[in-house]
Structure 1
């Protein structure tokens, strides 16, 4: 195993029925653990109390009191820290367990009704009859150690008992992970007139919670438990109509979650990968380094709790982007620069010898880019949210300071960063009738300029994995959706690429905001080139001209029959206005050679 620690104990809580006197659940789990690559249960202390007789009683012994809640009330700051710690662990586990099974009708039949009713009846009795509840909890608590670590597995009604138990455990007993399977906890009648099962926020002594339900298991209500327990990870599997615990325990995601809780990671937190030393970074890798440097400069200038949140979010995104990129490189047989491997981090930050969120590994200074080469890459970064999908407001003065630090780090001088900041503000005010700098930059909705650069690749989040990264064709990923921190390979916009960019933006799949922000990016690049005395790129003008032409044609085509204020037509007009305003600014400020809005002087007839 990748972690050096003692094997923790396992608490198994059964559901309705006879309590599984032959422990068939144990044999099923033992085999499933070994199939998943973990040790079996031979060396694990297993605690499996039997309480079927208690559940069948009318109301149990009313003289036995319900065990008291032992979890302390947390301050807002402590609760925030717990929530982030649990979310980190949950996100890591989610990436290991894989994608849920797509929802599909299995054909629940009336023959299952008796099973469902029996489970729900006993579950309702448990939560509403204090005698049954108190005696069951006491029986379980009497078998638990006073301290140490345990993994709790609860099936069916046992999941309800497990949830109820979480806040009543001995104070020195830590729950490494909770796995609930076939749980009826989503049923509304178990939550009526009582909040005893409600836990909207994670508790301090629980590492993570995975709830696994089958898309044919009617006991679960064919849904997860997120509504009542938002911090639990709901995972859907396809087990047919089966509700048996042995079937659930044989499912690979269930065995993997339990195995990870008992034995830790199958491999080290960061798998050892041999890098290639002294190899220059390619275009994609350079922009990856720029993104990380910019994000870390932003964090450096933030203060207090905002800095802490930003650093924690950056750790998660940095881990996901790098690990996915490295995995893709390994799959494709691409050499991996050692500089890239040196930037890897643990997703949780729980490794004692690992860096803290304030001391994440930084990329080496990049001095190989000229100002001309850096313009579009800087604009793409400056108009993006570097910790996407997390939304953290970054003050304008912090961005300005980060721009300065970034361009100094690149060996291009702090003046370039100052001019970038000025160009961004000027472009924003030119395109929008009012300054909406914070609206579109602060939340990072900007559509990164994706063009056919040297590699034509971008990092974008795959569906279902917030913040992850996969290499895809740049033009096919045009638009803001799923971009990881605005990391792009924005090469020089060429004359041949203008039409493609315009066609993508004019399409109905791109919003007016996509076009406005992209136009702002293009205009920012033109203004920055002007302030730095660099040669203008005619492709910028041609791209905006083509946007205006294509949107104008679409407006004319649709307006002939559509309502005057039809939303689609209005969106097209808004796209056209963005390009028109940017082009007017470029002409007025002489950003395009040979174009001016001045009146001609004298008579200078054209020669034929």
Structure 2
């Protein structure tokens, strides 16, 4: 924005122009409350667009010519998405804020209220009908509005009521050197799509000319019909607000009512002034502060997402623009979701910054896990979307290249195992695990996100888990979804279910030291809760744990196949019992329990084929041997498992 003139533009609605005091006064106050300077005291050019005379007394002439043609490029799309998500964050922050001041409480009787509503409706019908049906009036309004707009520079436009229709109608006819940083429509009747046949929903949008569009509407606003516009115009971000109660039905449409909302001040201030840009980081200024280990899996996921961006290649700039927008939005949503809860937890780990996630994640997790501990966590990364909750297609070769780059940055040094071989084993094992379960329609990366999170203190557990939290206690708590953290929950679930308990230490989950009976109860409850997941989520978790033991086999790591077999067997017992009960009662849920049973049986059959159990073979031999003693060779004795239950804590 530096060096270019900035203009704040207000476009009136039905009934004609309101005074500058009545629209700028409320807006200026709401901007101050949002932490911004008053525009009238900040060198911002302020402009009120008037068009009512052109509508009611039109002059002859052609409509303004289109100045925008074709499609926006990839960079413009990426810039538009950044503006969109910036607006969404502001809406979340201010969604409960009431109007700041001064709107009178109108409490008329029913006849007076009906008369006021009728007057407003009549104005809308008369003026909107004329703009819709009178081509001469529409052309006259267009010439007038375009002629009043700045010829160049940058603008933030607030368009009220019918003014929102006028501005959308003119988006491709704006002065070519004028950039609209944010279009804000308030009280818009654009939801009445059939009334505006000349505005085609879903058409090409000038992303390079209009950087973001936010539509603010009150559900009690009669002009908006109580509806947003994003269902017709996906470029818009809808912001549902509530200015007042039903007895203020008419005032709810007033521009001053909308402009007195803090969210309007935040939206306008953000577009005019922006926020301070973080200083570019250098290798000499990498953060070295110790972060709570509960954040480590989140940081690992962010490190992987960054490598996907860096290894994208110059030929996929459009994809990278979308991916980077999704990456930053995912991190911001994660931080927005946990900050308040972390403040309420005195033992909470410090929250990493946005820059920690986006720029320094690999540095912060470097050497955190050994290769065996990394396996289930990376498998979880590959199954889940790297930018949850968004799901962007990633080519297998690109995935492999990013994975090698990630391993090179986060593994502990000293291993003879190359990053390339490690990555290949991970990817090949995951493909084998998908084949083992058979149903190719259950796409793992679409399923794991949000599937399983081990929650001890409600939403935000990964941020709030104190270092000494017992592993058994955590594993016995509720399995829940945690928005962007769902992928991380899947990572930890795979680590636990595949017996890689030591990986949990790196996730801020310490060994419990509980007695054997307590640990056994924890294991049983964990398996039962695993069985409670939907068939899709259970299938995804099964892919992850099977892939983990396959990697262990390929890379000659200690195998956890026998421990995994016991988890699956315990979960299967729980599922079969529940399925039988649903079947007996003729419950409609019986079909889902049957699907769970098939998933677990496939997994168990694969384990028995690929990793034969010495103990199971011994039982078969003992039962089928007709006579004589059963003896074991030294090799067979050595192959017997040394534990009789999965170790769910290290």
Band the TM-score falls in, shorter-chain normalisation: 0.7 to 0.9
- Give the aligned partner of residue 287 of structure 1: 297
Q: Match for 2:591 among 546, 570, 575?
A: 570
Structure 2 counterparts to residues 327-366 of structure 1, below 5 A: 336=350, 343-345=356-358, 361=360, 363-364=362-363, 366=366
- Give the aligned partner of residue 241 of structure 2: 237
Structure 2 counterparts to residues 48-59 of structure 1, below 5 A: 48-57=48-57
Give the Cα separation in 2 of the matches to 1:396 and 1:324: 31
Structure 2 counterparts to residues 15-54 of structure 1, below 5 A: 15-21=13-19, 23-40=21-38, 41-42=40-41, 43-54=43-54
Q: CA deviation at 1:549?
A: 0.8
Q: Per the alignment, do residues 517 and 226 of structure 1 end up closer, same or farther by CA in structure 2, a change over 3 Å counting?
A: same
Kept in 2, the 8 Å contact 1:313–1:390? The answer is: yes
- Give the aligned partner of residue 259 of structure 2: 249
Q: CA deviation at 1:249?
A: 0.8
The answer to whether 1:224 aligns with 2:225 is no
Q: Deviations over 1:377-403 (max 9, x none)?
A: 222222211122222222334444444
Q: Per the alignment, do residues 12 and 309 of structure 1 end up closer, same or farther by CA in structure 2, a change over 3 Å counting?
A: closer
Q: Per the alignment, do residues 269 and 245 of structure 1 end up closer, same or farther by CA in structure 2, a change over 3 Å counting?
A: farther
Give the Cα separation in 1 of the matches to 2:477 and 2:206: 39
Give the Cα separation in 2 of the matches to 1:525 and 1:28: 59
- Give the aligned partner of residue 350 of structure 1: none
Structure 1 gaps of 5+ residues are 346-359, 461-472
- Give the aligned partner of residue 500 of structure 1: 525
Q: CA deviation at 1:593?
A: 5.4
TM-score where L is the length of structure 2 = 0.75
Q: Per the alignment, do residues 195 and 320 of structure 1 end up closer, same or farther by CA in structure 2, a change over 3 Å counting?
A: closer
**Bigger shift: residues 328-337 or 372-381:** 328-337
The answer to whether 1:511 aligns with 2:509 is no
Q: What SS does the corresponding residue of 2:181 show, helix, strand or coil? A: strand
RMSD: 3.9
**Bigger shift: residues 107-116 or 123-132:** 107-116
The answer to whether 1:213 aligns with 2:217 is yes
Q: Deviations over 1:524-553 (max 9, x none)?
A: 223333443315275523321122111111
Q: Per the alignment, do residues 418 and 31 of structure 1 end up closer, same or farther by CA in structure 2, a change over 3 Å counting?
A: closer
Q: What SS does the corresponding residue of 1:218 show, helix, strand or coil? A: coil
Q: CA deviation at 1:182?
A: 0.9
Give the Cα separation in 2 of the matches to 1:335 and 1:321: 15
Give the Cα separation in 2 of the matches to 1:122 and 1:477: 57
Structure 2 counterparts to residues 12-411 of structure 1, below 5 A: 12-21=10-19, 23-40=21-38, 41-42=40-41, 43-57=43-57, 60-61=58-59, 63-74=60-71, 78-98=72-92, 110-111=114-115, 112-192=117-197, 194-195=198-199, 199=203, 201-240=205-244, 241=249, 242-265=252-275, 267-268=276-277, 278-303=288-313, 304-305=315-316, 306-307=319-320, 309-321=322-334, 336=350, 343-345=356-358, 361=360, 363-364=362-363, 366-409=366-409, 410-411=411-412
Kept in 2, the 8 Å contact 1:452–1:497? The answer is: no
Give the Cα separation in 1 of the matches to 2:69 and 2:158: 23
Q: Deviations over 1:64-90 (max 9, x none)?
A: 21111111222xxx3444333212211
Q: CA deviation at 1:246?
A: 1.0
Structure holding more helix per residue = 2
Q: Per the alignment, do residues 21 and 300 of structure 1 end up closer, same or farther by CA in structure 2, a change over 3 Å counting?
A: closer
Q: CA deviation at 1:425?
A: 2.5
- Give the aligned partner of residue 444 of structure 2: 441
Q: What SS does the corresponding residue of 2:87 show, helix, strand or coil? A: helix
Q: What SS does the corresponding residue of 1:9 show, helix, strand or coil? A: strand
Kept in 1, the 8 Å contact 2:384–2:487? The answer is: yes
Q: Per the alignment, do residues 144 and 404 of structure 1 end up closer, same or farther by CA in structure 2, a change over 3 Å counting?
A: closer
Kept in 2, the 8 Å contact 1:393–1:442? The answer is: no
Kept in 2, the 8 Å contact 1:450–1:474? The answer is: no
- Give the aligned partner of residue 437 of structure 2: 431
Kept in 1, the 8 Å contact 2:429–2:550? The answer is: yes
Q: Deviations over 1:334-372 (max 9, x none)?
A: 56488x675355xxxxxxxxxxxxxx5562262242233
Give the Cα separation in 1 of the matches to 2:457 and 2:148: 64
- Give the aligned partner of residue 583 of structure 1: 604
Q: Per the alignment, do residues 500 and 278 of structure 1 end up closer, same or farther by CA in structure 2, a change over 3 Å counting?
A: same
Q: Deviations over 1:563-602 (max 9, x none)?
A: 7xx5x21221111121122222223333655233895174
Give the Cα separation in 2 of the matches to 1:99 and 1:326: 12
Give the Cα separation in 1 of the matches to 2:121 and 2:476: 51
Q: Deviations over 1:188-219 (max 9, x none)?
A: 34223x33687553432111111111111111
Q: CA deviation at 1:422?
A: 3.1
Q: Per the alignment, do residues 556 and 190 of structure 1 end up closer, same or farther by CA in structure 2, a change over 3 Å counting?
A: same
Kept in 1, the 8 Å contact 2:453–2:482? The answer is: no
Q: What SS does the corresponding residue of 2:180 show, helix, strand or coil? A: strand
Q: Deviations over 1:123-143 (max 9, x none)?
A: 121132122222222222333
Give the Cα separation in 2 of the matches to 1:322 and 1:271: 21
Q: Per the alignment, do residues 291 and 505 of structure 1 end up closer, same or farther by CA in structure 2, a change over 3 Å counting?
A: same
Q: CA deviation at 1:53?
A: 3.1
**Bigger shift: residues 587-596 or 372-381:** 587-596
Give the Cα separation in 2 of the matches to 1:246 and 1:456: 38
Kept in 1, the 8 Å contact 2:156–2:181? The answer is: yes
TM-score where L is the length of structure 1 = 0.80
Give the Cα separation in 2 of the matches to 1:51 and 1:584: 75
Give the Cα separation in 2 of the matches to 1:484 and 1:87: 22
Q: Per the alignment, do residues 292 and 54 of structure 1 end up closer, same or farther by CA in structure 2, a change over 3 Å counting?
A: closer
- Give the aligned partner of residue 571 of structure 2: 547
Q: What SS does the corresponding residue of 1:547 show, helix, strand or coil? A: helix
Q: Per the alignment, do residues 167 and 380 of structure 1 end up closer, same or farther by CA in structure 2, a change over 3 Å counting?
A: same
Q: CA deviation at 1:264?
A: 2.5
Structure 2 gaps of 5+ residues are 97-106, 464-473, 502-519, 632-650
Q: What SS does the corresponding residue of 1:522 show, helix, strand or coil? A: helix
